[in-house]
Amino acid sequence: SDLQKQEERGELLQPLIFVLLVLCSVLLYFKVSLMDPGFVKPEEEEGEDKGQGVVLPQIPGDIKPRRCGYCLVKQPMRAKHCQLCQHCVRRYDHHCPWLTNCVGERNHPLFMIYLSVQLVVLLWGGHVAWSGLYFEQSWEWLQHNIFLLMSFLLILIFTIVVLLLLVCHLYLISCNTTTWEFMSHHRISYLRHSELENPFDQGIILNLWRFFC
């Protein structure tokens, strides 16, 4: 049959890989949006501060962990209360409206993987849409290709957004800082009173290693 001949020629491999990437992207979306981003539990001890390790001595000693004014838990270093989630989140990065969930200590690496897979899917889809366009200066051509042209433009917009978001997050991760710390440096006590501009920075390689591994 025609399907068997296409399989023998390897013509079905690329569509299959594309479908698997789309499926992987959807599964990652639900995983990141539904998982615990690192909520601070009320029963956790005051001195427990995961993920800071050797960088804590660089923070001024007069800065003490404070109690959140909303949920009344003792906030570890780099935690922040999210009023949309109604929880304090460890290593809070931002609240993502697309995920309807916070990006924090636990789901930030998966969020980066999700963005990477999504970017590959968008680039692939954009290539497919572009390859189907044959431009002609006629009204009849526009009527027959308007849907494909709009699809390509929409894919292009999303590709630019995802690419910029991925690059920005990779830069922040390489500096061992978060979106919240980068945007609100002047309002965060442990950064405002620190002698170093970024007391958590341990070099690009070690920052990336600690984040992803």
Provide the annotated active-site residues: 96
Tokens of 65: 């962990």
Q: Phi, psi at residue 171, to the nearest 5°? A: -65, -45
Give, for 93, the enclosing helix (H) or strand (E): none
User: Can you tell me the distance from the alpha carbon of 64 to that of 193, in angstroms, rounded to the nearest whole number?
Assistant: 12
DSSP class of residue 137 equals S
User: Can you tell me the distance from the alpha carbon of 208 to that of 204, in angstroms, rounded to the nearest whole number?
Assistant: 6
Give, for 185, the enclosing helix (H) or strand (E): none
Tokens of 132: 């189907």
CB neighbour burial string for 130-154, b if at least 16 within 10 angstroms, e if fewer: eeeeeeeeeeeeeeebeeebebbee
For residue 112, the tally of other CB atoms under 10 A from its CB is: 19
CA distances from 154 to 35, 119, 132 (A): 29, 14, 15
